[in-house]
Amino acid sequence: MEFLSRAILTRSESTQILCEMSQIDESTLDIQQTEDGVLGRLFVFSSTSPQTAISIKKYEDVTVGRGNANTYQLIQSTASYRHFRVYSVLVDDDMDPLVYCQDLSSNGTFLNHCLIGKGNVVLLSDGDILDVRHCASFLYQQKNITDDDYHHEYDGEEFSITHRLLGTGGFSRIYMAIENKTGRQYACKIIEKRKVSSSRFYDDHEVSILKKLNHPNIVHVAMDYNSESQFFIFEELVTGGDLFSYLTKMGTVPEVTCLFIMYQLLQALGYLHSQNIAHRDLKLENILIVSSSDSVFRIILTDFGVARCMENGKRMSTFVGTMEYTAPEVRDLKGRSRRCKELNMGYGKEVDIWSLGIIMYLLLSGNSPVFSTDGNIVFEDAIWKTISRQAKDLISSFLQKIPTERPTVEEALQHPWFFRHKSRLDKLYRTRILKRPSL
C-alpha cells in the first residue's frame, strides 16, 4: 500500500472544512503559543462539539480517538479507540522540535486529503489539516518552524524539495522532500561539493556504498542526484529522532531496551562487516529511531559519509570519526596517516566495535565513559550497581585497547548478555523488524 494514497473529497465536505477553519482568530493563536513548552496547536472542528484547541507540548503525546483515555475524545462509532497520536522529537538545541502524526486507525486518518495509512507516520507542518472522516478535522498550527531559503540545484521530476529544514551536518543540510507520484515524505540530504572537494574524508562514495546495501537496520536510499555543485541523497524519513535525543529525553535507557538496541546494531554491523565495509562514525546521533511509541522499536544506522570498503586486506589510515567515539588506534594515527598508508599500517573494522562499547556505556549510564590510568573502563557511578554483570563485561570486551582483543560481531552475539535471551531476541527481531510495516 502506498504511504499516502490519493483520496477524493467531495466539494461540499472540503468547502465546509475550509470555511470553518477560516474563522480562526490568528491573534488568539499568537497569545496561546507563548505558553511554556507549547510547540503548536491542533484546532478542532466538529459538528458535534464547539471549536477547541489542543496544545502540543514537548515530550507529551496527544491522542485522539473514541476511548476515554484520549486527549481528545471522538464520539462517533466510525472512529477507532485510538485513532491517531501526535508527538514531538527534539533534533537539535538550535532547531525546533519536529512534530509527527501516527495513524493508528482502522478507517484512516487523512493529511491534506491523503490517507496516511495505519502504522505510518508523517511530519506535520504549519497549516496542515488532519481529517477523521465523518468525525472531525484538525488544523495544525506551529510557529517558529525551522525553515530557510537555501538554494538547491535539483530539477528532477520525481521529488519536490521543501524549505523544511530537518537537520544539518558538517558537509550537508537535510530537508523534507515529497515524492510527487505518491505524496510520500522523504529526507533529502544536500551536500555542497565545494565543502568536500578539499576533504580527504568525503566524496560521492556514500551513495555508491548505500546503493549496495539492503538491510532493515540500515537507511534506505530511494534515489540520488548529481548536479554541478551539489550531491542529493533521497532517503526514507525516519520519524522517531535519534538515539541522542532519545537518551536526552530518558536520562538513561533501561537495560532491557538497551539489549534490543544493541542486538539490532550488531545485526547491522555484522551485515556491513560481511561486505568488508567499516562505518567509522558510529555514534548516538547516527542511529535513528522508527517511532518510539513503546520500548521495542527499530533502529536505523545512517550517515555513511566516512564509511570505507576495505579491499584486498588493505588497512585504513585516515584520521576520521567523532573523538568521543573514536578507538585508540585511530587517535594514535593523528599526524601519521600518510606514513601508515605507505606501510599498510593503520586500523581495521575493530574500530566499529570500540564505538559500540561507547554507545552501550552512554545508553546505560547517561554519562561518558571513565577510564583508569592503565586504559581499562571504570564502572564507578552508582547506576552501575543496578546494571547486570554480563552487560558490564560486554562493554569491557568492546573497549579493549588492543583491537584484536575485541570480539567480532559474531562473538559478541554469543556473549551471555545476548545468548541467554537468544530465542526471545530472535523472535522480536523476526516479528517487529523483519515483518515491519512500510515507513
- Burial class of 205 by CB neighbour count within 10 A (0 to 12, 13 to 18, 19+): middle
Residue of 128, 242, 281, 352 with catalytic role: 281
Which residues are documented as binding site? 189
Unique residue bearing C-alpha cell 510557529: 143
Q: Is the dihedral of CA 427, 429, 432, 435 positive or negative?
A: negative
Task: Give the contacts of 168 (CB within 8 A, at least 6 positions apart).
Answer: 92, 174
Query: Cα dist. 322→90, 119, 153, 196, 369 in Å?
Result: 21, 35, 30, 17, 15
State the DSSP H helix or E strand holding residue 39, giving kind and residue range, or none if neither: strand 38-46
d(CA 395, CA 400): 9
Residue type, 148: D
Residue 281 is among the residues annotated as catalytic for this protein: yes
Task: Give the contacts of 208 (CB within 8 A, at least 6 positions apart).
Answer: none
Task: Give the contacts of 247 (CB within 8 A, at least 6 positions apart).
Answer: 253, 284, 362, 363, 366
d(CA 358, CA 284): 9
Task: Cite the DSSP H helix spans in 213-326.
Answer: 243-250, 255-274
The residue among 104, 8, 83, 78 whose CA lies nearest residue 437 is 104
Which residues are documented as binding site for ATP? 189
Residues designated as active site: 281
